[in-house]
Amino acid sequence: MSALPQYADTGRWPSAVRSPIVVSGSGLVRRYGEGDAHVDALRGVSLEIEEGCLTAIMGPSGSGKSTLMHILAGLDEPTEGSVWIAGLEITSMNDRELTRLRREHIGFVFQFFNLLLMLTAEENVLLPLSIAGVKPDR
């Protein structure tokens, strides 16, 4: 018998041991195109990411990793399903609310990032703070 029977039976820690869920997606579908020519990049993906956990999204090329990340960050909308960040359903937010959420709470490094060549590395990193009118901690 396992010393942690609840974990052994379910593959999940008891709720008393688990951290709060900070990001979750439920029934996420992302469909491109229509009719017979449509492509499902995501088909019913559900996940929960706990506070303080390192989470890796892995899979072969074309498996929907970038699509999933864009949806979880509010950069794209799912065809079906919902996304929650820190208790807020982002799939019901308008563009202004999503922009504010991303600017104030989400850090995102794009697969093909575009640095501004006329800025130093430090200035590129600090640019979002400058736009938000926030002074960086030094």
Query: Token pair 């736009």 is at which residue?
Result: 131
Indicate whether 72 belongs to any domain: yes
CATH number at residue 11: 3.40.50.300
- Token reading at 98: 């999503």
Give alpha helix (H) positions in 21-120: 65-72, 95-105
Q: What is the mean pLDDT of the chain?
A: 85
Indicate whether 88 belongs to any domain: yes
pLDDT band for 63, please (50, 70, 90 cuts).
Answer: very high
Indicate whether 128 belongs to any domain: no
pLDDT band for 12, please (50, 70, 90 cuts).
Answer: low
CA distance 81 to 59: 21
pLDDT band for 1, please (50, 70, 90 cuts).
Answer: very low
Give the residue, 65 or 115, on which the prediction is more confident.
Answer: 65
Indicate whether 131 belongs to any domain: no
Total number of domains constituting the chain: 1
Indicate whether 127 belongs to any domain: no
Indicate whether 18 belongs to any domain: yes
pLDDT digits 0-9 by tens, 13-59: 565 566 789 999 999 999 999 999 999 999 999 999 999 888 999 99
CA distance 91 to 78: 8
- Letter string b/e over residues 32-57, b meaning 16 or more CB atoms within 10 A of that residue's CB: eeeeeeeeebbeebeeebeeeeeeee
Indicate whether 135 belongs to any domain: no
Residue 92 structural domain: 5-113
Indicate whether 25 belongs to any domain: yes
